[in-house]
Amino acid sequence: MLSSKILIVDDNASFLELFRTLPGADQFNLLFSTSAEEAWNVLRSKAVDLIICDVRLPGMSGTDLFNKVQDELPEIPFILITAFGSTEDAIEAVKKGAFHYFEKPLTNRLDLFWATVREALAKRNALKELNILREERHARNQAFSSFIGRSPAIEAVKKAVSQVAEVSITVLIEGETGTGKELVARAIHELSPRCDKPFFAVNCSEFSSGVLESELFGHEKGAFTGAVAVKKGLFELADQGTLLLDEISESPAYLQPKLLRVLESGAFKRVGGSCTLGSDFRIVAATNKDLKEEVASGRFRKDLFYRLNVFVIHIPPLRERKQDIPLIAEHYLKRFARSFHRPAETFSENAMLTLMAYDWPGNVRELVNVIERAVITCTGSLITTRQLHVESPSQQTLSDLNLKNMERFYIELALKRSGNNKTKAAEILGISRKTLIEKVKRYEEEL
């Protein structure tokens, strides 16, 4: 409790002096003010945990100060001290939410007084913790607000992100192109204690190997032709922050042992430098290739793989979590309509069916691009298949759309996907094999 700050307000300097010497007072960090006005100034500049204030003060009274605190800083508990004749006002304040009141002289009931002070501080700490929790929850919602999806797979990704964000371990994110690996890496950073420090991303396939090395490690002046000045690398710049090594499988073979060393020790040298530097970065690596296969084929170092493979988050392709398609499509429809001032409001049933039926090899990125183009070209409120530039799953079913046709369309699609395996198709559709066979038979009879 020594770190708890208590502000004591009394116009009587000898009372303040006495307070300082009260047995038990040395357990707290005490601040003193001789008027309510002065106390208010202190409250505006310092984080105080408890106010102990005389009721009778020249100028602004103790109860006036209580009312002001109650309005503007209601999380700080307030204890009033009364002398003969001011008890009524104190009782009134307690009814309005003051923590307690005590009559002078305090020395009469000192044990009870300190017990009350401790109780008030405990309440304050509980409130503080609650606020921290609220802020954390808010930050979490913010970080996930752009990460759309309610499929079990996406819920699992969100859970893993929340679990791993707080601890500074290396995270490996796996997923096909466009599945949201960078989005997840940013969410990890946003939810981590490093969130107010920088986030950097580097794509290991984007640079020629020498350039990548100097991007990552920096270089000294004159290290190579063209190195006209010292350049700090990303490991150095990401000190206390997060660095995303994207497409890590593409890092050149000669650089991989260097990467391993810096990941293990946090120590490195700039290109052309002799001085060892240190940095406290957090690494998130991303890959759209199966790193195990890369190791097996000798393209990726095993030891670096083990160093990266500490905590893996796998983002499944969009075709394996199709229930996320409508949510993502509608989210981006609204977003693009707003930013381009277009009239598009919703999708026609056919259009949604087309989006659902497509396999999205480019995953969410491809879906986002298709929606963007549709919103731009759409002149009314409804987006139809005409604005969707994706392969149409089956022309005939889209023309005559009623529930029966939709059912039939899905059954055909499920059979096609499962390679005509009825058990699998029934599983995809969430019906029994028997029901599926009956339905197929009925369709065949209708022909």
Ligand X SMILES: Nc1ncnc2c1ncn2[C@@H]1O[C@H](COP(=O)(O)OP(=O)(O)OP(=O)(O)O)[C@@H](O)[C@H]1O
Residues that bind ligand X (CB under 6 A): 146-149, 175, 177-183, 246, 288, 328, 364-365, 368
Measure the CA angle with vertex 185, ends 183 and 191; round to 5°: 100
Of the two residues 179 and 214, which places its CB atom closer to ligand X in the complex?
A: 179
Closest residue to Mg ion: CB criterion: 182
* 182-201 residues near Mg ion, rule: CB under 5 A: 182
Of the two residues 8 and 204, which places its CB atom closer to ligand X in the complex?
A: 204
Of the two residues 50 and 315, which places its CB atom closer to ligand X in the complex?
A: 315
Of the two residues 16 and 201, which places its CB atom closer to ligand X in the complex?
A: 201
Which long-range CB contacts under 8 A does 382-389 form with residues at least 24 apart?
Answer: 382/344, 382/345, 382/346, 382/347, 382/348, 382/351, 383/333, 383/344, 383/346, 383/347, 383/348, 383/351, 384/348, 384/350, 384/351, 385/348, 385/350, 385/351, 385/354, 387/351, 388/351, 388/354, 388/355
Of the two residues 104 and 331, which places its CB atom closer to ligand X in the complex?
A: 331
Shortest separation between residue 338's beta carbon and ligand X, angstroms = 16
Residue 364 contact among Mg ion, ligand X, none, beta carbon within 5 to 8 Å by kind:
ligand X
φ/ψ region of 213 (left if φ > 0, alpha if ψ in -120 to 50, else beta) reads alpha
Of the two residues 149 and 393, which places its CB atom closer to ligand X in the complex?
A: 149
Closest residue to ligand X: CB criterion: 180
366 belongs to the binding site for Mg ion (CB under 5 A): no
Shortest separation between residue 179's beta carbon and ligand X, angstroms = 5
Residue 179 contact among ligand X, Mg ion, none, beta carbon within 5 to 8 Å by kind:
ligand X
Report d(CA 31, CA 446) in Å as an integer: 88
Shortest separation between residue 226's beta carbon and ligand X, angstroms = 29
Report d(CA 120, CA 367) in Å as an integer: 55
| CA–centroid distance for 200 within its chain | 16
Q: Which stretch binds Mg ion (CB under 5 A): 179-187, 252-260, 322-330, 348-356?
A: 179-187
Shortest separation between residue 177's beta carbon and Mg ion, angstroms = 8
Characterize the bridge pairing of strands 267-269 and 276-278. Answer: antiparallel
Report d(CA 33, CA 404) in Å as an integer: 79
For binding to Mg ion (CB under 5 A), which residues are involved? 181-182
